[in-house]
Amino acid sequence: MKKALAFDIGGTKIYSTIIDETGKVVGEIDKFSTPKTLDGIKKILKDQINKYEAKADVIAIATAGAVNNENTRVIGSTGNLPQGYSNIDFQSLSTKKVFLENDANAASWAEYKIGASRGTQVSVMLTLGTGVGGGIIVNNKLLKGKSGAAGEMHFKMYPDKRRKCTCGSWDCFEIYASGTALKLDAVEALNDKNVTTYDVIEGVKNNDKKMVDILSRWQNDIIEGIKGLANIFDPDCVVLSGSMAQFVDIKKVEEEVNSDIVTTPTSIRIATAGNYAGMIGAALMAF
């Protein structure tokens, strides 16, 4: 059975393991803090490749940042990785074929092949974490756009400049639907700069009405965003993944979305491909 040496390169951590053709993790999970320098990142990749490439047919990398349509390099800048990251020639690091895909895209492919959106033709995945990632499958293919950068969840929630988004623009879905957004909702509602996402979640557990309202506002913004995506894509399902997805009331989201769209009902699902979905998806695409 074919195997891939897979990496997940994020702003804070780099993971690496071996994935087989069926999407199963068959190696140890190695974990590193993401170095602040390009050379540091390259060294980790090279060391792991030297150690494991003999066991692998292909190198599959899920990475932060948009990846070109040839799946060879990152295009544009990615806030959380060192400058020049997009200049890395990943293929030069191995004699095996090196395949790159954006982490959210790769994870959505894993959901499509072995997870929550398996068997569907059109699906939208939202990764709700510190930020919001997006991966869209249309007619059984990943939506990549002209340069490979499609699937960015930076559509406007307001047209009149209220909240600055991490992308530099204003009021994108990301800055109303992410973990960061939930903190901002709380800061605004309580007029307290020190309140955290954790405080909100703890408050909700203790039935603190203010915190319940804050979480509800955050969830409502997610619902409003999903309505738009449902009308644009008419998807079989919308999959929610990421560390913040557990705080979403899936049933309520599905009910509210479907009561207010012009397309046919869509199913809202929690991701099931697990924490290593990015590496799994990249590997399954690379084979």
Instruction: Provide, rounded to whole angstroms, the least separation between the CB of residue 64 and its own copies.
Output: 13
Nearer to its own copies, 23 or 148 (CB): 148
Q: Which residues in 123-202 belong to E strands, given as ranges?
A: 123-128, 132-138, 141-142
Nearer to its own copies, 25 or 122 (CB): 122
Nearer to its own copies, 25 or 149 (CB): 149
The strand pairing partners of 5, in sequence order, are 18, 59
Nearer to its own copies, 159 or 209 (CB): 159
Structure tokens at 137: 């499958």
Region of 175 (left: φ > 0; alpha: ψ -120 to 50; beta: rest) is alpha
Out of 135, 176, 197, 219, point to the residue binding its own copies (CB under 8 A). 176
**Total residues at interface with its own copies (CB under 8 A):** 53
Please report, as residue ranges, which positions from 101 to 160 form the binding site for its own copies (by CB under 8 A): 120-122, 134, 136, 138-139, 141, 143-159
What is the pairing mode between strands 66-67 and 74-75? antiparallel
Stretch that binds its own copies, among 27-35, 89-97, 230-238, 271-279 (CB under 8 A): 230-238
Please tell me the distance from the alpha carbon of residue 144 to that of residue 138, in angstroms, as a whole number.
10
Contacts of 75 (CB under 8 A, 6+ apart): 65, 66, 67, 68, 86, 147, 148, 149
Instruction: Name the site residues for its own copies (rule: CB under 8 A).
Output: 66, 75-76, 120-122, 134, 136, 138-139, 141, 143-159, 167-169, 172-173, 176, 220-221, 224-225, 227-229, 231-236, 260-264, 266
